[in-house]
């Protein structure tokens, strides 16, 4: 059984490493290709900025990958404990055709929602223009070589553009990969236990962690019937409640009501 993990996201260490690499490379190129008092003074130490930034980039990569790997092990262990001690296991779709129709509809909805960040791009260009104009004006007043300012500045804004445009590309690829995975997989089950819930489609959701706690569980009749989990999420300026609805398979209504009561009987949720 292949588990769906939420912690396997390596973008943060990759972007951090890229930032330091670009700044180090831009600074080094500025020192190499300019003839200024600063570049002449550091002529023997020209590789130093690049080496320092490259070292920082490698450290971020190594530490970031180790942290993500450890988090993945922890999440995998939590999922396995839940699967071994699940109170219920419910199918979320009645047929393969229904599941694939949902996958296709979800794909189309997410692709329509995805928009190119024109507003963000315009703001980045405006800020770049203002900062560059001010920086070049100050550098010219001091008689500095403009290239020694332009290259690090260009490296920094290149990083910003990579984040701005890369986020859209990464999100589009993520949506397409999710659709591909859904169409290849069987209809998902959801497993619910004392510690949390795990879906073959959406992964693991704990009922108690730093900043999150389960505050209510209730059965709601309907077509389909659902068991609703209300989770309080604390934020810096307050908290909000996220409701997760789990579909109850036909004929499992009594089991669903008993499940909702069990969370109170076991002391997971206070009455």
Concatenated DSSP letters for 8-40?
---HHHHHHHHHHHHHHHHHHHHHHS--SHHHH
Q: Are 148 and 35 in contact (CB under 8 A)?
A: no
Instruction: State which of 184, 216, 245 marks the end of a domain.
Output: 184
Banded model confidence at residue 100, pLDDT cuts 50, 70, 90: very high
Q: What's the domain count of the chain?
A: 2
pLDDT (0 to 100) of residue 77: 92
d(CA 31, CA 49): 10
Shared domain check, 213 and 180: no
DSSP codes of every residue in 178-238 = HHHHHHHSPPPEEEE-SSEEEETTTEEEESEETTEEEEEEEEE-SSS-EEEEEEEEEETTE
Please state whether the peptide bond connecting residue 57 to the residue before it is cis, i.e. omega within 30 degrees of 0: no
Q: Is residue 171 part of a domain?
A: yes
pLDDT (0 to 100) of residue 105: 93
Banded model confidence at residue 12, pLDDT cuts 50, 70, 90: confident
Q: Is residue 44 part of a domain?
A: yes
Determine the average pLDDT of the residues in 96-121.
89
Q: Is residue 270 part of a domain?
A: no
Q: Are 168 and 116 in contact (CB under 8 A)?
A: yes
Q: Give residue 170's domain range.
A: 11-184
pLDDT at 148 over 80: no
Shared domain check, 178 and 47: yes
Q: Is residue 201 part of a domain?
A: no
Q: Is residue 99 part of a domain?
A: yes
Q: Is residue 3 part of a domain?
A: no
Banded model confidence at residue 166, pLDDT cuts 50, 70, 90: confident
pLDDT at 36 over 90: no
User: What's the count of helices (H) and strands (E) in the chain, helices before strands?
Assistant: 7, 8
Q: Is residue 255 part of a domain?
A: yes
Q: Is residue 197 part of a domain?
A: no
Shared domain check, 159 and 79: yes
255: phi then psi, degrees, rounded to nearest 5: -60, -35
pLDDT (0 to 100) of residue 81: 93
Q: Are 103 and 183 in contact (CB under 8 A)?
A: yes
pLDDT at 83 over 60: yes
Q: Which two structure tokens, joined as six digits, stand for 87?
A: 């109170």
Mean of per-residue pLDDT scores for the chain: 83
Shared domain check, 76 and 128: yes
| Maximum CA extent, the chain | 82
Shared domain check, 240 and 171: no
Instruction: State which of 184, 216, 238 marks the end of a domain.
Output: 184
The predicted-structure confidence for 58-69, as pLDDT tens digits, reads as follows 888 788 888 888
Q: Are 50 and 25 in contact (CB under 8 A)?
A: yes
Q: Are 201 and 90 in contact (CB under 8 A)?
A: no
Determine the average pLDDT of the residues in 245-265.
94
Shared domain check, 228 and 127: no
Shared domain check, 220 and 177: no
Q: Which two structure tokens, joined as six digits, stand for 166?
A: 């890369």
Instruction: State which of 169, 184, 199 marks the end of a domain.
Output: 184
Helix pair angle (147-184, 118-141), 10° resolution? 160
pLDDT at 151 over 90: no
Shared domain check, 148 and 228: no
pLDDT (0 to 100) of residue 98: 93
């Amino acid at each position: 059984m292949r588990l769906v993990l939420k912690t396997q996201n390596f973008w943060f260490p990759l972007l951090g490493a890229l930032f330091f690499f670009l700044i180090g490379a831009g600074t080094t190129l500025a020192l190499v290709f300019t003839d200024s008092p600063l570049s002449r003074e550091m002529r023997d130490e020209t590789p130093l900025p690049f080496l320092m930034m490259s070292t920082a980039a490698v450290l971020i990569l190594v530490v970031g990958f180790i942290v993500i790997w450890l988090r993945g092990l922890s999440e995998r262990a939590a999922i396995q404990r839940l699967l071994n001690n699940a109170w219920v296991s419910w199918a979320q779709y009645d047929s393969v055709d229904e599941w694939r129709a949902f996958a296709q509809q979800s794909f189309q909805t997410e692709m329509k929602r995805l928009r190119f960040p024109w507003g963000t791009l315009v703001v980045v260009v405006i800020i770049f223009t203002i900062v560059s104009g001010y920086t070049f004006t100050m550098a010219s007043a001091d008689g500095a070589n403009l290239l020694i300012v332009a290259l690090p500045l260009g490296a920094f804004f290149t990083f910003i553009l990579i984040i701005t445009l890369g986020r859209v590309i990464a999100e589009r690829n993520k949506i397409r990969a999710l659709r591909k995975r859904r169409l290849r997989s069987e209809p998902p089950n959801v497993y619910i236990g004392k510690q949390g819930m795990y879906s073959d489609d959406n992964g693991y959701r704990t009922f108690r962690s730093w900043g999150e706690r389960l505050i209510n569980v209730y059965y709601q009749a309907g077509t389909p019937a659902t068991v609703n989990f209300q989770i309080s999420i604390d934020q810096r300026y307050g908290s909000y409640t996220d409701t997760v609805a789990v579909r109850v398979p036909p004929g499992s209504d009594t089991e669903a009501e008993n499940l909702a009561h069990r969370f109170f009987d076991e002391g997971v949720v206070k009455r």
